[in-house]
Amino acid sequence: MPDFETPVSRRHALVAVAGLCGAAPWAAARTAANSSAPSIELLSSAPLDVDPAGHLVSEKFDGVRAVWDGHSLRFRSGRPMAAPAWFTEGWPDAALDGELWGGRGRFDVTSASVRRSVPDDAEWRALQLMVFDLPGAAGSFAQRAQRIESLVRGAPTGSLMAVDQAELADRAALRSRLDSVLRGGGEGLVLHRADAPWAAGRSTAVLKLKPLQDAEAQVLACEAGRGRLTGVMGALRVRNTSGIEFRIGSGFTDAERRDPPAVGSWVTYTHRGHTPSGVPRFASYWRAAAADL
């Protein structure tokens, strides 16, 4: 069994799976879009024993990150989103950061809906923008959360929803809330320091609490499988946002091994922490990354 916790050696033989792992046609476009990507806050992983004191806690919605700039709806990459005109009609001119969400366990359906160049009205009627912050706004997060509720109440549309934020008394209450969300098919929780000003980039003021940690990485190459995997992809060589290169060889369905993510595309993987050298432990493929949208 390959050791997927060991950094990829420069001498490791990379074997392209013929016809299966070509370059992603949108890779160049994604790079261009990133140059004009909106400024957003990014979540850090919370330790399992995190104390909720001083935080506002909400459900982590498993949808597609979207930013409303006051005039148009965009992916986090900066690429415009082909939303129906009626969906954003009456939205405020303030910048909104949120998650386009169609319900628990429906990420794949939501992702497919919002990626269409010609929007399907029926699909979009099942979605809402769950608003959790105001990019660039002044004040503490608690103050911004109050303003979000006011902005949503003033919008004549059902397509905007303010994310519920709650204060929890202690770790036991936090664990109870997490267990409730997980039993209902949810992904986890977000803890945002109530006194935190808005700041772009990765922040320890905004934490995600999940049974498994997850992160994103870009596909560098495919490796041919062996044994029962002969003729299909055996593993992906990837580089994460910290610049660490490693291999992902588990978590794929047979269909995904026959038609693996393209070189240049981004994937989301789960892991259980990191080695001292920063390599994700027990990295396993989860799905195509929302960051690639």
Instruction: Report the catalytic residues.
Output: 60
**DSSP letters spanning the chain:** ---TTSPPPTTSPP---TTTS-B-TTHHHHHHHHTTPPP-EEEEEPPTT---TTEEEEE---SEEEEE-SS-EEETTS-B----HHHHTT--SS-EEEEEE-STT-HHHHHHHHH-SS--HHHHTT-EEEEEE-TT--SBHHHHHHHHHHHHHTSS-SSEEEPP-B---SHHHHHHHHHHHHHTT---EEEEETTPBP-SEEEEEEEEE-SSEEEEEEEEEEEE--GGGTTSEEEEEEEETTS-EEEE-SS--HHHHHSPPPBT-EEEEEES-B-TTSPBTT-EEEEE-GGG-
